[in-house]
Amino acid sequence: MTSGSKEKKAKDMTDIEPLGGDAAFQLVNGQQQWHPRWEENIDSEVNATFINAVADRVYQNELVSQIYCEERHTKTSLGLQICQQRGDRGQGL
């Protein structure tokens, strides 16, 4: 990733306008569109909700990856060990 793209992503994130009231996100076409309040403290209610949602999604992704890895390599303990060591996300051995 080039620094230009990092700068653009940072600008895009800070250009997000907060929603009214205590709303942290809005539904757009069935998807959550988050509106963190970058100018507020990290533990403000909206930002804490956003951070918890991000952590939850990361945890769920890791859990699904682990389950996939274990199901894929149940018959070969060596395959499971390799998978766990490199954090297999569905790639072949």
Domain parsing of the chain, residue ranges? 3-86
Residues 38-52: tens digit of each pLDDT: 888 988 999 999 999
Are 51 and 42 spatial neighbours (Cβ–Cβ below 8 Å)? Answer: yes
Average model confidence (pLDDT) across the chain: 78
Q: How many Cα neighbours within 13 Å face the side chain of 82?
A: 11
Residues facing 31 on adjacent strands? 28
CA 25 to chain CA mean position, Å? 15
Backbone φ and ψ for 31, nearest 5 degrees, come out as -110, 145
Task: List, for residues 9-19, the tens digit of each pLDDT value.
Answer: 888 888 888 89
What's the pTM? 0.60
pLDDT (tens digit per residue) in 70-89: 666 555 555 666 666 665 55
Q: How far is CA 54 from CA 32, 50, 70, 93, in A?
A: 12, 6, 24, 30
Task: Kindly report the length of the chain.
Answer: 93
- d(CA 37, CA 29) in angstroms, rounded, equals 22
Please report the pLDDT score of residue 62 as a whole number: 80
